[in-house]
Amino acid sequence: MSRTVLPMLAVLLVIFVLVPLLTSAATADAATMAQSTAPVAASPSAGVSIAPFDVKAAVDAYLAKVPPDQRARSDAYFEGGYWLILWDFVATVVAMWLMLRFRWSTAMRDLADRMTRFRPLQTAIYSVQFIVLYTLLTFPMAVYEGYFREHQYGLSNQTFVAWLRDQAVGLAISIVLGAVLLMVLFGLVRRLGKSWWVWGAVAFIAFTVFAVLIAPVYISPLFNKYTKLEDPKIKAPILSMARANGIPATDVYVFDESRQSKRVSANVSGLAGTTRISLNDNLLNRCTLPEIEATMGHEMGHYVMNHQYKGLLALSVLAVIGFAFVNWGLNVCLRRWGGKWGISDIGDVAVLPLAVLLISFYGFLLTPVTNTISRTMEYEADMFGLNASQQPDGGAEVDLMLGEYRKLDPGPIEEFIFYDHPSGRTRITAAMRWKAEHLPGAAAPSGPTQP
């Protein structure tokens, strides 16, 4: 799913951090605005026949290819993102508090009640108002984060009008999916009472599966044009790698992300029959074949190791805990402040801002957990990609491109808390370690090129 819809959907489906986790396999894996340069310049492979290959020196040589000013800029961009996690959380808390404190939420509920007597429809009408109001209240943050900041760091190509258009499409999707989900959830609350949260979690998981399933076919094309990759010089080796790894693909998809961004990216999206591997046009235009192969090997790793399903499983566990927490929090808060806010019980749809507040708190605290689940799967995909593509230098070059927007060399605690993908240093170290073990004379059982 596109980066623009995801945050929005996540918020509006009342799930914040949980969806990015699930779709981590479907998000951009590599990004850059820089042209890829030939690996020869910094590749220490020239000396390998005489001296043992020094992995750390090779990694340092790769990292040193990025000029200091560029490093400083991408560090600043990424570290700014740490604060944005906090400010986004604060913005949501303030928006929700305003809706409760000034009874905007109950006013929206009353309006919905006047419009129809049919309860599910009342919930839907309230949901639309809520989603629109939430979008308006957090719009300044969204403009800064999604538009101005991206341009400030040279990562975006979009005009403001084009950006707004994408936001509008994202809002429309959120309204439709959000209203349906909330009708189901409030229906469960009213029917089941105290035990609603168990079935609520089940409904939420089923709904997420549905959204992920339809995304490649019905959602992603609303933001980008998807075409089949035609160039046989690129298509043939990618499909060969797919066949070699048991992936029954006959097509690779290309999408025109250059409309939005200068980043290079590829992803695996969908589930079951809709699963597909896509790469963006930036990747196609800026990368060499070994770099493309390294990236596609990584994506195939997500596919072969069933990361979409494992992500769903992790999401399910977190969702059950999250729903239990929200149920508890709603009851505690309503006992205390329910009268003041004009909300009597959790079956009242006007309670939604409080639920969103609690979920965003849960998601905020869970940041290191969800990042670690994602990062672990990304590292697995890296290992798979190295073995599948046998392109450690191509991989290292792509990892450097990520350094355009992801800090290359963080501390270990920083990486643990904030990174949903491994850092550049971690990934390049893995690539150079793979390379060292596959050089002629290495103690490895047999290099793939020398069977």
In angstroms, the CA 184 to CA 349 distance is 12
Q: Helix 392-402 crosses helix 367-389 at what angle (to 10 degrees)?
A: 150
**Residue closer to Zn ion (CB basis): 381 or 402:** 381
Q: Select from 24-32, 206-214, 286-294, 328-336 the region that touches Zn ion (CB under 5 A).
A: 24-32
348 contacts Zn ion (rule: CB under 5 A): no
CB of 110 to Zn ion, least distance (A): 47
CB of 302 to Zn ion, least distance (A): 5
Q: Nearest residue by C-beta to Zn ion?
A: 29
Report long-range pairs for 93-97 (Cβ below 8 Å, ≥24 apart). Answer: 93/357, 93/360, 93/361, 94/137, 95/134, 95/137, 95/138, 95/353, 96/353, 96/354, 96/356, 96/357, 96/360, 97/353, 97/357
What number of chain residues touch Zn ion (CB under 5 A)? 3
**Residue closer to Zn ion (CB basis): 292 or 354:** 292
CB of 220 to Zn ion, least distance (A): 17
In angstroms, the CA 237 to CA 92 distance is 46
Q: Which residues does 147 contact at the CB level (< 8 Å), separation at least 6?
A: 156, 158, 160, 163
Q: Select from 100-108, 353-361, 370-378, 397-405 the region that touches Zn ion (CB under 5 A).
A: 370-378
In angstroms, the CA 124 to CA 237 distance is 49
29 contacts Zn ion (rule: CB under 5 A): yes
In angstroms, the CA 132 to CA 208 distance is 21
Local structure of 122: helix, strand or coil:
helix
CB of 395 to Zn ion, least distance (A): 12
Residue whose tokens read 């390379």: 435
381 contacts Zn ion (rule: CB under 5 A): yes
Strand partners, 226: 255
Q: Select from 188-196, 197-205, 309-317, 381-389 the region that touches Zn ion (CB under 5 A).
A: 381-389
Q: Select from 22-30, 95-103, 187-195, 277-285 the region that touches Zn ion (CB under 5 A).
A: 22-30
CB of 337 to Zn ion, least distance (A): 43
**Residue closer to Zn ion (CB basis): 295 or 429:** 295
**Residue closer to Zn ion (CB basis): 142 or 254:** 254
Q: Select from 25-33, 104-112, 276-284, 401-409 the region that touches Zn ion (CB under 5 A).
A: 25-33
In angstroms, the CA 276 to CA 304 distance is 12
**Residue closer to Zn ion (CB basis): 109 or 307:** 307
**Residue closer to Zn ion (CB basis): 88 or 293:** 293
Pull the structure tokens for residue 244: 């070699």
Q: Select from 121-129, 206-214, 331-339, 380-388 the region that touches Zn ion (CB under 5 A).
A: 380-388
Instruction: Tell me which residue of 225, 387, 374 sits closest to 293, measured CA to CA.
Output: 387
CB of 29 to Zn ion, least distance (A): 4
Q: 437, 48 in Cβ contact below 8 A? A: no
CB of 353 to Zn ion, least distance (A): 34
CB of 184 to Zn ion, least distance (A): 31
In angstroms, the CA 33 to CA 401 distance is 8
**Residue closer to Zn ion (CB basis): 135 or 370:** 370
Pairing of strands 253-255, 226-228: antiparallel
**Residue closer to Zn ion (CB basis): 141 or 247:** 247
**Residue closer to Zn ion (CB basis): 135 or 308:** 308
409 contacts Zn ion (rule: CB under 5 A): no
Q: Select from 92-100, 205-213, 350-358, 378-386 the region that touches Zn ion (CB under 5 A).
A: 378-386
Of the CA atoms within 13 Å of residue 401, those in its CB half-sphere come to 31
**Residue closer to Zn ion (CB basis): 95 or 381:** 381
Instruction: Tell me which residue of 42, 55, 49, 56 sits closest to 436, measured CA to CA.
Output: 55
CB of 21 to Zn ion, least distance (A): 13
* Residues 133-192 within binding reach of Zn ion (CB under 5 A): none
CB of 385 to Zn ion, least distance (A): 9
**Residue closer to Zn ion (CB basis): 125 or 215:** 215
CB of 435 to Zn ion, least distance (A): 20
Local structure of 14: helix, strand or coil:
coil
Q: Select from 102-110, 184-192, 360-368, 374-382 the region that touches Zn ion (CB under 5 A).
A: 374-382
In angstroms, the CA 129 to CA 111 distance is 10
In angstroms, the CA 140 to CA 372 distance is 30
Q: 400, 424 in Cβ contact below 8 A? A: yes
Contacts with Zn ion by CB under 5 A lie at 29, 378, 381
